[in-house]
Amino acid sequence: MTQKAWIPYVLVAPAVIFLGVLFILPLVQTLAMSVSDENGLSLANYTRMLGDLNFADALRNTFLLTLVAVPAQIVLALVMATMIAKIGRGRDLVLWVWVIPLAISDLAAGLAWLSILQSNGYLNSALHGLGLLDGPTPWLTQETPLALFVGIALAEIWRATAIVLVILVAGMQLIPKEYAEAAEVFGASPWQRFTRVTLPLLKPSIQSALILRTVLAFEVFAVVYALGGRNFPVLVGEAYVWQGENQNTGVAAAYAALIMLISMIATAVYIRVLRTPREQMA
Amino acid sequence: MTNLTRRSLLAAGAALAAAPTAAQAQAGDLAFLSTQLRPVEEATKMREIILRSAPVRTTYVTDEPQNLTTRMRAEAQAGRRTVSLVGALHGELQPLAAEYLDPLDDVAATLADRGIPQNLLTLGKFGTAQQRYIPWMQATYIMAAHRRALEFLPAGADINALSYEQLNAWAGAIRQRTNQRRLGFPAGPRGLMARFFQGYLYPSFTGGVVRSFRAPEAVGAWEAMKAMWANASPASTTYNFMQEPLAAGEVWIAFDHVARLLDALRGAPNDFVTFPAPAGPMGRGYMPVIAGLGIARGAPNRAGAVSVIEYLSRPATQLRLAAETGFFPVVRAELPADLPPAVRLAANAIAATQNARDARVSLLPVGLGDKGGEFNKVYMDTFQRIVLRNENIRTVLDAEANALRTVMNATGAPCWSPDAPSDGACPVA
């Protein structure tokens, strides 16, 4: 059997080479770009980034959006996944409808919410029809930062809950029904069954969903761009502006390196905090 | 139908896919890369109407401005060039001039009798001795207003000779009497607000752009801007093209590039009036926008590119372009009497701007290389801090003047009109 030990490595090699060339190489190049300027190695790009007018806002906005949206999405997805597990007929239809936001692009989702939230959009038309508003009321301007934040958070939650839902539904299907039935026999209430049986067995799925969702949340861009424009700076948006408008690739690379660092730290935290010893897996 | 096996369908599909690549390989073809006339309708007009009668078969390719430098640099580094002719704005050609554009002094000599103004040709040299682009078309920034705003115009104000105070009073009257803010600025992420500050606000109040960045008159300029912003639609920070809010009735008075107002004018030409931007204490500053044609260094078809440049510089072609887009001729050409009404509106405002007694030309930045974006950022950051964040004007001007000095010293760019000439980098007083 040992002569065949190299077979797995050979089979994995194409994917590794593909990843290496199209992912690792540009990553290394970006990092190199961020620590160099015309005269060689220097931290000028990072200094420029940290001292920029919008840096503090971008950092704060990105973290705030992640801190608000991700827990809301986890809770929402858990509720939705539990409901899906209980539905008999029509389960596939419900799941399909709930997963539709996954199929549309970020920017399309942002534009859909823009048509709802802008000053002559559907929300204002509805509120005006109900008599709650006098006329077009702006929600997305820099004079209404709270409404802008809530609007963006809502759009993000609507758009990205589907991915968490899909992971949790798959995780729930792996939990054998016997555990829940045994708990019911022993007199556990539905809430106790959920918190003592389902949730712990779902921990690996929650860990995957959290890592994926948090990393993507730190990279939020298209929805914010569509709804907020310049009014709500976020990290990737600033990288885009530095690359596209200011034509300074070095500072854009510095932003990219910062986002990567934040994502890596968050992933490490999740892996540590939510680790599941082998014995506890279903 | 039964004869169509999967194999034959696959073969037919492969042949179809191969056909365009075979067609592209014909000699005499020219690839024309342009950052202007990008929207589908305008690009279609370029392909179907303008370039159809060109002397060389031209493939018209459009791309976003920020990709132009990347693409030219990539082609040069790879040594495999596809693009021969480049059409872009002055500021977009600037980073390419030194390394990626061919000198065009021979072409400029053959076009000497077309009547291209000397100051435009000089712009095309980017401060060097060699011609790097031939001016292609020009535009400028004007203001447009819906007719229903005219009743709020202050008494005694001539709409073709407004001052910034009068514009502010006008917008203020609308705000007081309708409780809505109907003045609009293109301060969105893709809007051209930086050009408003460089070409209009600063020259009108301070008589300069760089030298007078933190002059006492600049404080007056920003105070006027703050006053106007109080009467401006708060959604202005999302407006990229003013034609959309103007046509939707969200904004009644707008400032923008003439090409970005045309759709609204075309949709309802009888509902709008156009007029020059206002004047300040130092005159009526305005910025002409020049698009130019350059030939890529090492172009696969230089001769073809030269003949297309000659074709695009004919008065008839340029007049055709003016009728279809918002860009006007640079060569000597009489505008015909049967122009579409929207273009006629734009042409009137442009003529009124250029012929105003107190007109003060503010040229596009010259010599900034690839720091053009950071130059704009200084003005936009100043706007954000003073107008949006309400910081102290003097403090912000002093702080941003340092950033401006850094950009000017890094590029070594000498002063350009309306600033007095300098030797060496343009100083920030």
DSSP-derived secondary structure for B280-317: BTTBEEE--EEEEEEEBTT-TTHHHHHHHHHHHTSHHH
pLDDT of residue B17: 53
Q: Does the structure show a pLDDT above 80 at A151?
A: yes
Question: How near does any CA of chain B get to the CA of A145, in Å?
Answer: 12
Q: Strand pairing of B30-34 and B58-62?
A: parallel
Query: B234 and A248: CB-CB below 8 Å?
Result: no
Per-residue pLDDT of B304-326, as tens digits, reads 999 999 999 998 899 888 887 77
Please tell me the distance from the alpha carbon of residue B99 to that of residue B82, in angstroms, as a whole number: 16
Structure tokens at B75: 């082609």
Query: B95 and A142: CB-CB below 8 Å?
Result: no
Q: Average the pLDDT over B326-341 and give the result.
A: 82
pLDDT of residue B323: 80
The mean-pLDDT minimum among A110-114, B338-342, B424-428 falls in B338-342
SS3 A37: strand
Q: Average the pLDDT over A5-28 and give the result.
A: 93
Q: Is B271 exposed, middle or buried, given 0-12, 13-18 or 19+ CB atoms closer than 10 A?
A: middle
Question: How near does any CA of chain B get to the CA of A231, in Å?
Answer: 7
Domain with CATH 3.40.190.10 in chain B: 29-139+289-342, 141-288+359-411
Q: Is residue A44 part of a domain?
A: no
A140 touching B, CB under 8 A? yes
Nearest CA in chain B to A141: B235
Q: Does the structure show a pLDDT above 90 at B356?
A: no
Q: Does the structure show a pLDDT above 50 at B1?
A: no
- Across the interface, of B66, B237, B384, the residue whose CB is closest to A141 is B237
Write out chain A residues lying below 8 Å of B189, CB-based.
Answer: 225, 229-230, 241, 245
Contact (CB, 8 A) for B275 and B147: no
SS3 A151: helix
Sign of the alpha-carbon torsion through B340, B344, B346, B347: positive
Query: How confident is residue B7, by pLDDT bands cut at 50, 70 and 90?
Result: low
Going along chain A, which residue ranges are E strands?
36-37, 40-41
The answer for residues whose C-beta is within 8 angstroms of residue A17's C-beta and 6 or more apart is none
Q: Does the structure show a pLDDT above 70 at B12?
A: no
pLDDT of residue B26: 44
Edge-first strand listing for the sheet containing B328-329:
B58-62, B30-34, B85-89, B289-295, B134-139, B328-329
**Best A55, A142, A148 residue to mutate vs chain B (most B CBs within 10 Å):** A142
Give a three-class secondary structure readout of B308-326: HHHHHCCHHHHHHHHHHCC
The answer for residues whose C-beta is within 8 angstroms of residue B208's C-beta and 6 or more apart is B202, B215, B418, B419, B420
SS3 B339: coil
Q: Chain-wide mean pLDDT for chain A?
A: 91
What is the residue range of A96's domain?
Answer: 57-280
pTM of the model: 0.83
Q: Is B412 left (phi over 0), alpha (psi -120 to 50) or beta?
A: left
pLDDT of residue A118: 86
Among the listed residues B197, B59, B83, B208, the one whose alpha carbon sits nearest the alpha carbon of residue B141: B197
Q: Average the pLDDT over B29-50 and give the result.
A: 89
CATH of the domain at A221: 1.10.3720.10
| % of residues, chain B, pLDDT over 70 | 93
Q: Is B127 left (phi over 0), alpha (psi -120 to 50) or beta?
A: left
Query: B250 and A119: CB-CB below 8 Å?
Result: yes
Number of domains within chain A: 1
Question: How near does any CA of chain A get to the CA of B258, in Å?
Answer: 21
| % of residues, chain B, pLDDT over 90 | 56
CATH domain B29-139+289-342 topology: D-Maltodextrin-Binding Protein; domain 2 (3.40.190)
CB atoms within 10 A of CB B356: 17
Query: B373 and A248: CB-CB below 8 Å?
Result: yes
Domain formed by B141-288+359-411, architecture: 3-Layer(aba) Sandwich (3.40)
Query: How confident is residue B423, by pLDDT bands cut at 50, 70 and 90?
Result: confident
Write out chain A residues lying below 8 Å of B376, CB-based.
Answer: 245-246
In angstroms, what CA-CA distances link A84 with A96, A172, A178, B258? 11, 10, 18, 55
Q: Is residue A19 part of a domain?
A: no
User: How much of chain A is helix, strand and coil, in % rounded to 5?
Assistant: 80, 0, 20
Query: A119 and B235: CB-CB below 8 Å?
Result: yes
**Best A230, A231, A236, A248 residue to mutate vs chain B (most B CBs within 10 Å):** A230
A115 touching B, CB under 8 A? no
Q: Average the pLDDT over B272-294 and give the result.
A: 93
Q: What values do phi and psi take at B141, rounded to 5?
A: -105, 135
Contact (CB, 8 A) for B82 and B91: no
| B14 vs B161 pLDDT, higher one | B161
Question: How near does any CA of chain A get to the CA of B316, in Å?
Answer: 35
Question: How near does any CA of chain A get to the CA of B161, in Å?
Answer: 32
Among the listed residues B327, B182, B320, the one whose alpha carbon sits nearest the alpha carbon of residue B261: B327
pLDDT of residue B3: 52
A241 touching B, CB under 8 A? yes
pLDDT of residue B374: 92
pLDDT of residue B261: 92
pLDDT of residue B25: 41
Among the listed residues B128, B237, B207, B116, the one whose alpha carbon sits nearest the alpha carbon of residue B419: B207
Q: Is residue A104 part of a domain?
A: yes
A39 touching B, CB under 8 A? no
Q: Is B331 exposed, middle or buried, given 0-12, 13-18 or 19+ CB atoms closer than 10 A?
A: buried
| A225 vs B23 pLDDT, higher one | A225
Query: B235 and A141: CB-CB below 8 Å?
Result: yes
Contact (CB, 8 A) for B292 and B120: no
Q: Chain-wide mean pLDDT for chain B?
A: 88
Rounded to the nearest angstrom, the gap between the alpha carbon of residue B410 and the centroid of all alpha carbons in its chain is 25
